[in-house]
């Protein structure tokens, strides 16, 4: 019984730390034609300067492994946008008072939040064809985020996000 409780607790902890990714792409796109990339010249990532540098290094390494090369005259641009927000709290305690007699009743209930709201970060990756100036692939990730994390923890988090995002690029390659 104790083992089951530990496993359930571990599962809850792990499930809270996951990266969630939503993908979308143009089904008519021939992804084999995209062999070179660059970043939007005026890209505003919304990440801190150091996190932006970390993310670009990580994306470059992933693209290189996929055989897609960085170029000054690319087939497509990558645009990265980020935002952070406090996730809605779902932990609260309800306190209620009620009473009644005969055919009359009444009550008051209050929900009190427990703990702090968790910080979440959403990062969106857009791939835009440079010739057509059209979006052809997009991924949006959501995950927990600690503003005051160590540089190592921040890099690990960004690497986890990028790996999860790019595991399904190009689509239909499995």
* 113-159 pLDDT tens trace: 555 557 899 999 999 999 999 999 999 999 988 888 899 999 999 99
Does residue 162 contact residue 149 with C-beta atoms inside 8 Å?
Answer: no
pTM passes above 0.85: no
The per-residue pLDDT for 95 is 58
Is 32 a residue whose pLDDT tops 60?
yes
The per-residue pLDDT for 110 is 64
Mean pLDDT, residues 7-35 taken together: 76
Q: How confident is the model at residue 6 (pLDDT cuts 50, 70, 90)?
A: very low
Least confident of 25-29, 105-109, 157-161: 105-109
Residues 79 and 124: their CA atoms lie apart, in Å, by 8
Cα dihedral angle (43, 45, 49, 55), rounded to 10 degrees?
-100
Cβ neighbors of 128 (< 8 A, separation 6 or more) are 40, 76, 77, 79, 134, 135, 136
Q: Give the closest residue to 149 by CA, choosing from 171, 119, 115.
A: 119
Mean pLDDT, residues 6-19 taken together: 53
Cis amide bond preceding 170, omega within 30: yes
Element (H, E) at 82: strand 76-86
**Strand pairing report for 76-86 and 36-39:** parallel
Cα dihedral angle (148, 152, 158, 160), rounded to 10 degrees?
-120
The per-residue pLDDT for 18 is 87
* 47-105 pLDDT tens trace: 999 999 999 999 999 999 999 999 999 999 999 999 987 765 555 556 566 666 666 66
Go through the domains of the chain in sequence order and give each one's CATH number: 19-86+115-166 (3.30.160.670)
- DSSP code of residue 33: G
Cβ neighbors of 20 (< 8 A, separation 6 or more) are 141, 142, 143
């Amino acid at each position: 019984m104790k083992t089951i409780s530990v496993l359930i607790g571990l599962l809850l902890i792990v499930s809270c730390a996951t990266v969630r990714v939503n993908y979308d792409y143009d089904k008519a796109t021939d992804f084999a034609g995209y062999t070179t990339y660059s970043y939007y010249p005026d890209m505003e990532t919304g990440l801190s300067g150091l996190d932006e540098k970390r993310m670009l290094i990580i994306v470059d390494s992933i693209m290189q492994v996929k055989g897609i090369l960085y170029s000054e005259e690319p087939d497509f641009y990558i645009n990265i946008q980020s935002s952070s927000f406090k996730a809605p709290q779902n932990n609260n305690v309800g306190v209620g008072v009620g009473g009644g007699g005969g055919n009359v009743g009444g009550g008051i209930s209050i929900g009190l939040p427990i703990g702090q709201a968790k910080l979440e970060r959403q990062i969106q990756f857009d791939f835009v064809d440079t010739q057509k100036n059209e979006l052809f692939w997009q991924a949006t990730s959501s995950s927990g985020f600690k503003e005051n994390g160590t540089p190592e923890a921040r890099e690990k988090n960004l690497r986890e996000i990028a790996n999860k995002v790019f595991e399904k690029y190009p689509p239909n390659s499995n």
